[in-house]
Amino acid sequence: MSANSRLTIAAHALTWIGLYQRRGHEVATSEQIATSVNTNPVVIRRLLAQLSKAGLADSRRGAGAGWMLARDLSAITLLDVYEAVEPGPVFALHRATPDPECVVGRGIGPALTAVYDGVEAALRRELAGATLEDVLRDILKAA
């Protein structure tokens, strides 16, 4: 699978902001977050821009600028983050449409779509069951 790390990085960034704010700070800069994630600040800004569109984060510009949560960590599930940063489905159908002269070629798409829809639903249920608050609790417990 061509698995990417966007969900991981986005969850990391939001959790980091949440903890930082709980420690009394107003906003977090993309540079600070990038240091914890160990990547480039632009990567963080790109992801946070998507999370901002989804209503999970907000930014402040000008001097003393940075990022803050739009909702509390307990009100953000991993499903919210997933939907904000992952556009497509988990499984793809055929790249080129199969032979329409063939029974299997005609019917396999709809048949698999039914199963794939169930898979996506199950995946979403799992992700919806974990909030970033849960994730942060896990982190602090292990520390």
Cα Rg of the chain, angstroms:
19
Q: Which does 24 bind (CB under 5 to 8 A by kind): DNA, a copy of itself, none?
A: none
The CA distances from residue 56 to 33, 82, 127, in Å, are 16, 11, 16
Please report, in angstroms and rounded to a whole number, the separation of the first and last CA atoms in the chain: 32
- Based on the shown chain and the rule CB under 8 A, indicate whether residue 1 belongs to the binding site for a copy of itself: yes
Residues in binding contact with a copy of itself, number by CB under 8 A: 61
- Based on the shown chain and the rule CB under 7 A, indicate whether residue 120 belongs to the binding site for DNA: no
The CA distances from residue 132 to 2, 73, 81, 104, in Å, are 25, 5, 9, 44
- Based on the shown chain and the rule CB under 8 A, indicate whether residue 25 belongs to the binding site for a copy of itself: no
- Based on the shown chain and the rule CB under 7 A, indicate whether residue 18 belongs to the binding site for DNA: no
Nearer to DNA, 55 or 129 (CB): 55
Q: Which does 62 bind (CB under 5 to 8 A by kind): a copy of itself, DNA, none?
A: DNA
